[in-house]
Amino acid sequence: MYKLLLILLLITVSCDKKFVAPEPDNLIEQSVMERILYDIKLLKASKSKSYKVLKDNNVQADLYIYEKYKVDSITLRQNIEYYATASFKKSKEIEQNIKAQFETNKVALEKSIADKVKADKTEDSIKKIEDTIKLPREKFRSEIYPSLIDENSFLVTSDYLKWLQVNSVFDNSKENTEKDPYYKTKLVSNKTKGQHRVDIHTLELNGEYEFSVYAKKAELNYIGLRIGLKGYSIIFNLDKGVVHGEHDDIVAKIKQQRLGWYKCSVKCKVDSVSVVRINIFKSNSYLDYSGNDVDGVYLGDINIQEVTRR
């Protein structure tokens, strides 16, 4: 975090009206620069208010900024100096836009909290009615079936555009999804001969982690899971509920859920990895094959978490 604090201090050069920084060779667009400075200020505030949360989730603020915006420390410093000194009007405009963004997000957050409080009250009322007429309780709370991936997680991104899809696409055209609460999307293989997978980028993982996916057979019966890029994926049979290709240093489990779904998981120790992978296969082998833009596997909740030992 000290690097980000140093960068923020560079803004003070704008107080010296005689100094004008040269335009960088790699000039960052003003709109992007505003997002970078917004994130820096947000992380600085989080550092003081939620230090333990950031530490427990291995969030390194400076590296987060560099990786998110694909920029190095020198380029970022040069751009901050440039925007702070080249034009008082421009630097003032950036400052006002960042402030407006904070206000907008504050209003949105307050509305989200109010909506949740209202929803919780409604749920409590429903539960009281169920108790009164002595009907069995149904676990329908929204947290039971979260979005495809936890948007509040510090480990993985929920932005699909940042997921690396190799010879595959997400297909969300399945009808009557309300009848299948596990369903979130379908991973479909294309016509290219090769692997068909999605790589989900994470923060740097060091330690023991568990990567789990809810999956259901569609035209294809097999998925593979892997933490990191070394070795082979563990293959799960979504028709018979068995595991193929087990390794001594990886704990793999498949547990049957309802409606034909399985929870597949792998758990292992890793050192400095930053990706998890989901493959879809035609058999319990690692052979390349050509898809048809139709065949795939249904996916539900995806989760990755650090394993804590007591």
193 and 74 in a common domain: no
Residues 68 and 188 grouped into a single domain? no
Mean pLDDT of the chain: 76
Separation in Å, CA 120 to CA 6, 84, 116, 186: 43, 46, 6, 31
Determine whether 61 is exposed, middle or buried from the number of CB atoms within 10 Å of its CB (0-12, 13-18, 19+): buried
Residue 292 has pLDDT above 70, yes or no: yes
How, if at all, do strands 234-237 and 222-227 pair?
A: antiparallel
Give domain status of residue 202, yes or no.
Answer: yes
Whether the model clears a pTM of 0.75, i.e. scores above it, the answer is: no
79 lies in the same domain as 168: no
Which residue range(s) make up the domain with 77? 2-103
Q: Which residue has 């596997």 as its token pair?
A: 297
Calculate what percentage of the chain has a pLDDT beyond 90.
26
Whether 275 and 199 have beta carbons less than 8 Å apart is answered as yes
Q: Are residues 173 and 52 in the same domain?
A: no
Tell me how many domains the chain contains: 2
Higher pLDDT, 161 or 21: 21
* 200 lies in some domain: yes
| 168 and 295 assigned to the same domain | yes
Is there a domain that residue 281 lies in? Answer: yes
Same-domain check for residues 287 and 189: yes
The alpha carbon dihedral of 164, 224, 204, 263 has a sign of: positive
Query: Which CATH number goes with the domain that contains 263?
Result: 2.60.120
Q: Based on the fold, state whether residues 90 and 189 are members of the same structural domain.
A: no
Do 93 and 190 share a domain, yes or no?
no
Unique residue bearing structure tokens 């049979």: 237
Per-residue model confidence (pLDDT) at position 219? 95
* Most confident listed range (112-116, 146-150, 195-199, 300-304): 195-199
Q: Is 187 found in the same domain as 302?
A: yes
> What pLDDT does 254 receive?
96
Q: Where a domain ends, among 103, 128, 147?
A: 103
pLDDT of residue 17: 54
**Residue 132, in any domain of the structure:** no
User: Looking at the domain assignment, is residue 145 inside a domain?
Assistant: no
Quick one: pLDDT at residue 142?
32
Q: Are residues 98 and 21 in the same domain?
A: yes
In a domain, 174, yes or no: yes
Q: What is the pLDDT of residue 192?
A: 93
Which of 87, 103, 119 is the last residue in one of the domains?
103
pLDDT band per the 50, 70, 90 thresholds, residue 214 = very high
Residues 230 and 301 in one domain: yes
- Among 78, 103, 128, identify where a domain stops: 103
Considering the domain architecture, whether residues 186 and 97 belong to the same structural domain is answered as: no
Q: Is residue 138 part of a domain?
A: no
How confident is the model over 57-85, as a mean pLDDT?
Answer: 81
Sequence-ordered strand ranges (E) for 131-286: 164-166, 168-171, 185-189, 193-194, 197-217, 222-227, 234-237, 242-244, 251-256, 262-281
Specify if 73 maps to a domain. yes
Determine the Cα–Cα distance for residues 310 and 293; give it in Å rounded to an integer: 47
